């Protein structure tokens, strides 16, 4: 089975490369091709068509996205090009070959006014440009393609790239006092767990399963950014990544203004994806320890 992954150096694509590479059966069963942005412009239909003709994929995984949430408020056209038009081009190319697309979306398609975890069928209401363009990307996939697995995820972190966990550890090496937002709640997601679940879904598709639709995949428990930061600092200090345990204070979102409005509550329910595809939700605390271990190795 030829698997085309759109993206190569982002968190999820890097985690997918690691998961696929560590499983001998994956290398025997599938051929994985990772397409970096330098090779593919998803907003250019011809570029997409040429890549598909060269790789001849049996399934496509789209990890590419414009994810700079605050910059998107100004770079609207660029966010639309990648997150909406790119999805349209990929969906049309997949439809032409009659192959499925696994597309990664976000919790930011929701307003954040819930008090209980969002289910996939609940009303969307993006509060910022990034969330809106990701929502429009979902609509393009569903318009042009019948075989799709849209996976909304949230608060993704890993050993790769720029993310909240690595940023906090880096800052704690040169700063001893922090203010972190405590009124935004979500479920952190370890990219390695999401990658492993995508591999399992692809194996199921290869075996003939066709559970098409929208799904949610994130950590099995929710927390605030403040509590998440406390967990990061505690483990980093315990395992000698930082010399001192920083002082951290909870603040309200209004005291930390950003260009883009964030959902106040964006925890999502994993029940549908675990029931239909039999994958496990992300254990983000174990994932956090894996990132800490990798950081220690890199010192």
Angle in degrees, CA 81, 82, 86, rounded to 5: 90
Instruction: Return the closest-CA partner of residue 201 out of 149, 158, 239.
Output: 149
Quote the CA–CA distance of 47 and 66 in Å, as a whole number.
18
CB under 8 A, 24+ apart: contacts of 73-81: 73/128, 73/129, 73/259, 73/260, 74/259, 76/129, 79/129, 79/130, 79/133, 80/133, 80/136, 81/43
Q: What are phi and psi of 93, to 5 degrees?
A: -65, -40
Q: How far apart are CA 293 and CA 26, in angstroms?
A: 25
> Active site residue: 130, 215, 217, 226, which one?
130
Assess whether 135 carries a catalytic annotation: no
Annotated catalytic residues are 130
């Amino acid at each position: 089975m030829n698997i085309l992954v759109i993206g190569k150096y982002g968190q999820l694509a890097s985690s997918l490369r690691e998961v696929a590479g560590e499983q001998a059966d994956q290398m025997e069963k599938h051929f994985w091709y990772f397409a970096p942005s330098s090779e593919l412009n998803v907003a250019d239909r011809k570029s997409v068509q040429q890549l598909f003709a060269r790789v001849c994929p049996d399934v496509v995984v789209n990890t590419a996205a414009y994810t700079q949430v605050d910059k998107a408020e100004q770079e609207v056209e660029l966010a639309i090009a990648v997150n909406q038009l790119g999805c349209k081009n990929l969906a049309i190319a997949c439809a032409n070959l009659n192959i499925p697309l696994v597309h990664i979306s976000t919790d930011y398609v929701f307003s954040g006014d819930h008090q209980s975890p969002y289910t996939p069928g609940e009303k969307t209401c993006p509060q910022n440009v990034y969330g809106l363009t990701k929502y429009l990307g979902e609509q393009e996939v569903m318009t042009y393609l019948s075989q799709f697995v849209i996976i909304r995820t949230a608060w993704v972190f890993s050993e790769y790239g720029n993310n909240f966990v690595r940023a906090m550890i880096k800052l704690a090496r040169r700063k001893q006092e922090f203010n972190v937002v405590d009124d935004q709640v979500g479920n952190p997601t370890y990219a390695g767990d999401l990658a492993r679940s995508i591999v399992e879904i692809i194996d199921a598709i290869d075996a003939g399963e066709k559970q098409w639709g929208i799904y949610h995949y994130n950590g099995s428990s929710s927390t605030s950014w403040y509590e998440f930061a406390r967990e990061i600092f505690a483990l980093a200090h315990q395992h000698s990544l930082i010399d001192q345990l920083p002082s951290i204070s909870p603040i309200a979102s209004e005291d930390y203004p950003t260009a883009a409005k964030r959902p106040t509550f964006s925890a999502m329910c994993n029940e549908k994806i675990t029931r239909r595809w039999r994958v496990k939700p992300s254990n983000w605390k174990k994932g956090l320890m894996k990132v800490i271990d990798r950081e220690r190795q890199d010192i």
